[in-house]
Chains A and B, each alone.
Chain A
Amino acid sequence: MKKVLGHGAWVVVSIAAAFFLGGIAMDRGEPVNSFWLVLAAVCTYLVGFRFYAKFIAAKVMTLNDQRATPAERLRDGLDFEPTNKWIVFGHHFAAIAGPGPLVGPTLAAQFGYLPGALWIIIGCVLGGAVQDFVILFCSMRRDGKSLGQMAREEIGKIGGFTALLTVLFIMIILLAVVALVVVNALKGSPWGTFTIAATMPIALFMGVYLRYLRPGKVLECSAIGFVLVMASIFGGQAVGESATMAPWFTLSATALAVATIIYGFFASVLPVWLFLAPRDYLSTFVKLGVVAMLAVGIVFVHPALQLPAFTRFTDGSGPIFAGKIFPFCFITIACGAVSGFHALISSGTTPKMIAREWNAWPVGYGSMLLEGFVGIMALIAACSLQPGVFFAVNSPAGIVGSTPDAAVATISSWGFPVTAAEMQSLAVDVGEKNLFYRTGGAPSLALGMAQIFAKTGSGRAILGFWYHFAIMFEALFILTIIAAGTRVGRFMLQDLLGHAWKPLRRSNWMPGVMATSGAIVLAWGYFLYQGVRDPLGGINSLWPLFGIGNQLLAAIALCVATTILIKMHRARYMWITGIPLAWLVVVCFTAGWEKIFSDQPRLGFLADADRLQSALNAGKVAADQIAVTQGQIFNDRLDAVVCGVFMVLVLLILADSLRVWFGILSGSREAKVVEAPFVMTQLRAEEL
Chain B
Amino acid sequence: MRTLLRTAWRILLEIADQNAYQRHLRFHGRVHSTAEWQRFCDKRFAHKYARAKCC
Contact indicator B11/A219 (Cβ below 8 Å): no
Interface of A is mostly: helix
Pick the contact of A216 from B7, B37, B48 — CB < 8 Å? B37
Residue among A84, A171, A218 with the highest chain B CB neighbour number at 10 A: A218
Contact indicator B18/A216 (Cβ below 8 Å): yes
Contact indicator A488/B53 (Cβ below 8 Å): yes
Contact indicator A91/B55 (Cβ below 8 Å): no
Contact indicator B41/A484 (Cβ below 8 Å): no
Residue among B7, B12, B45 with the highest chain A CB neighbour number at 10 A: B12
Contact indicator B28/A86 (Cβ below 8 Å): no
Q: Which residues of B contact A81 (CB under 8 A)?
A: 20, 23
Contact indicator B11/A488 (Cβ below 8 Å): no
Proximity bits, B8-46, A CB within 8 Å = 1, else 0: 101111111111110110111000111001100111111
CA distance A84 to B23 in the complex (A): 13
Pick the contact of B49 from A212, A285, A339, A484 — CB < 8 Å? A484
Proximity bits, A86-106, B CB within 8 Å = 1, else 0: 110111001111111000000
Q: Which residues of B contact A90 (CB under 8 A)?
A: 8, 11, 14-15
Pick the contact of A91 from B8, B14, B23, B24 — CB < 8 Å? B14
Task: Tell me if B52 counts as interface (CB < 8 A to partner A).
Answer: yes
Closest A-chain residue to B25, C-beta based? Answer: A77
Contact indicator A96/B54 (Cβ below 8 Å): yes
Proximity bits, A348-363, B CB within 8 Å = 1, else 0: 1100000000000000
Proximity bits, A522-549, B CB within 8 Å = 1, else 0: 0000000000000000000000001000
Expressed in whole angstroms, the minimum distance between the Cβ of B22 and any Cβ of chain A is 9
Contact indicator A218/B16 (Cβ below 8 Å): yes
Contact indicator B11/A87 (Cβ below 8 Å): yes
Q: Which residues of A contact B13 (CB under 8 A)?
A: 219
Task: Tell me if A83 counts as interface (CB < 8 A to partner B).
Answer: yes
Pick the contact of B10 from A87, A334, A546 — CB < 8 Å? A87
Proximity bits, A330-360, B CB within 8 Å = 1, else 0: 0000110001011011001100000000000
CA distance A219 to B19 in the complex (A): 11
Task: Tell me if B47 counts as interface (CB < 8 A to partner A).
Answer: yes
Pick the contact of A488 from B8, B18, B41, B49 — CB < 8 Å? B49
A-B contact count (CB 8 A): 127
Contact indicator B17/A218 (Cβ below 8 Å): yes
CA distance A480 to B34 in the complex (A): 26
CA distance A34 to B18 in the complex (A): 39
Q: Which residues of B contact A465 (CB under 8 A)?
A: none
Contact indicator B53/A98 (Cβ below 8 Å): yes
Contact indicator B15/A78 (Cβ below 8 Å): no
Pick the contact of A550 from B7, B43, B55 — CB < 8 Å? B55
Contact indicator B27/A277 (Cβ below 8 Å): no
Contact indicator A216/B53 (Cβ below 8 Å): no
CA distance A623 to B6 in the complex (A): 67
Contact indicator A77/B26 (Cβ below 8 Å): yes
Contact indicator A215/B38 (Cβ below 8 Å): yes
Closest A-chain residue to B20, C-beta based? Answer: A78
Q: Which residues of A contact B8 (CB under 8 A)?
A: 90
CA distance A78 to B46 in the complex (A): 12
Q: Which residues of A contact B20 (CB under 8 A)?
A: 78, 81
Contact indicator B54/A272 (Cβ below 8 Å): no
CA distance A171 to B54 in the complex (A): 10
Contact indicator B14/A273 (Cβ below 8 Å): no
Task: Tell me if A195 counts as interface (CB < 8 A to partner B).
Answer: no
In the complex with contacts A77-B26, A97-B54, A281-B34 CB distance below 8 A: no
In the complex with contacts A77-B24, A273-B42, A277-B45, A348-B51 CB distance below 8 A: yes
CA distance A670 to B16 in the complex (A): 45
Given contact pairs A211-B38, A273-B38, A277-B48, a sample of 6 additional A-B residue pairs in the complex whose CB atoms are under 8 Å apart = A78-B24, A87-B14, A95-B53, A218-B18, A341-B54, A348-B51
B-binding residues in A (CB < 8 A): 75-79, 81, 83-84, 86-87, 89-91, 94-100, 167, 171, 174, 178, 211-212, 215-216, 218-219, 222, 272-273, 276-277, 281, 284-285, 288, 334-335, 339, 341-342, 344-345, 348-349, 480-481, 484-485, 487-488, 491, 546, 550
Return 7 A-B CB contacts under 8 Å, by A number. A95-B53, A97-B54, A98-B54, A100-B54, A216-B37, A273-B41, A341-B54
A-binding residues in B (CB < 8 A): 7-8, 10-21, 23-24, 26-28, 32-34, 37-38, 41-55
